Amino acid sequence: MQSILITILVCFFAGMGAGLGTGFAGMSAAAVITPVLVTFLKMDAYQAVGIALASDVLASAISAYEYGKNKNLDIRNGLVMMISVLIFTMVGSWVSSLLDNQVMGGASVFMTMLLGMKFIVRPVMTTKESMQAVSAQKRAIQSIVCGVLIGFICGFIGAGGGMMMLLILTSVLGYELKTAVGTSVFIMAFTAFTGSMSHFAIGGVPDWTVLALCVVFTLLWARVAAIFANKADPKTLNRATGVVLVMLGVIVLGFQTLT
């Protein structure tokens, strides 16, 4: 039986990485938690994704609250994208139930490293003035189309949804970084809830101890990160988070190779 001390330590570091990523850059907590649980606790990948998404719910909600309090949240224009994301999160969750652990675990590690490199090489840098450059009609259409893709990926591997929303909101819809992060975590709170419920309904009851630990630790670090993120330089936050993600991906990948 897995030692409770090891379980606590693994969940603590998984929650810390996930919470910092969520609070700083709107990243899905599942991009960190899933590969860590699969690799170090030998957990079933499908249930690991469900636990990771459940951890994302409160972490994203508390982050959205902090960004909203600092006027860095656009609820109205995020609702259109959220509807299509919610629907296709459930579709992705069902499709992922048909795959084996190795495919899902490998995809999560790859996504973690890819997100980290994106932060380092090309940090997202925009201004609030650019947010008005896209027409309302064009933005609505883009939000629906992009929401379909984001939702499917979020439900499929439990990773990438938050970061993809961040990229779409800044690169396609012209959002300033902090407003994009705030809007992203607002949407992720709902998509993560839908995804986790779908996973638990299809895959069964999760390990309640691991679930509780991951939820608490992710929430704690997301709160801390969101407070600092609203006061810090965006470029510094992008690169710092990128370094953490790449290091985590390398460590987890190395552990898998050795075992």
Name the average pLDDT for the chain.
Answer: 79
What pLDDT sits at residue 106? 56
What pLDDT sits at residue 155? 67
CA atoms within 13 A on the CB side of 249: 20
The more confident residue out of 133 and 6 is 6
What pLDDT sits at residue 47? 85
Please, what's the largest Cα pairwise distance for the chain? 57
Quote the percentage of the chain above a pLDDT of 70. 78
